[in-house]
Amino acid sequence: MDTIEIKKIAYTLELNATVAETAQRLTKELNSRGFGVLSNIDVQKIIKEKLGEHIDSYVILDVCNPTHAKKAIDTHKEVGLVLPCKVTIFENQGKVLISLYKPTEAVKLLGFTDLDPLASQVESELKGAIDALAV
């Protein structure tokens, strides 16, 4: 997948903080906006434990707003294929990046155009939480 496609499906921001600090700050910010972090997957730790190899710090957050998720599931049970929302926080060439898989793109992939307004709302709220970290 080339960079143009990634930019289309992901909202990415560079931050001046560690991956751990960013994950902690984002979790607090999401909680204040009605979202919860269902899981915080420490990929670096898993790779070290399972393969004995080192990768740069990398976490995947599974993020959910129960009210929004229920609306989506009530409309299309299959939407669970792209739930919860994914946020990655990782080091890349000495920089820390936070990247959101855009809910609008996830819903588009499934063809559920009736969920476009909800996906846009969720995406806006998640981008707001991410942008708040840059201040």
Domain ranges of the chain: 3-133
Residues 6 or more apart whose CB falls under 8 angstroms from that of 102 comprise 9, 10, 11, 123
Whether the per-residue pLDDT at 31 is higher than 90: the answer is yes
The more confident residue out of 8 and 130 is 130
Q: Pick from 19, 29, 95: which is nearest to 63 by CA?
A: 29
Dump pLDDT digits (tens) for 86-129.
999 999 988 999 999 999 999 999 999 999 999 999 999 999 99
Q: Which amino acid is at 103?
A: P
With pLDDT > 70 as the criterion, what percentage of the chain qualifies? Answer: 97
Q: Is residue 103 within 8 Å of 124, Cβ to Cβ?
A: no
Whether the per-residue pLDDT at 1 is higher than 80: the answer is no
The pLDDT of residue 3: 53
Q: May I ask the CATH architecture of the domain 3-133?
A: 2-Layer Sandwich (3.30)
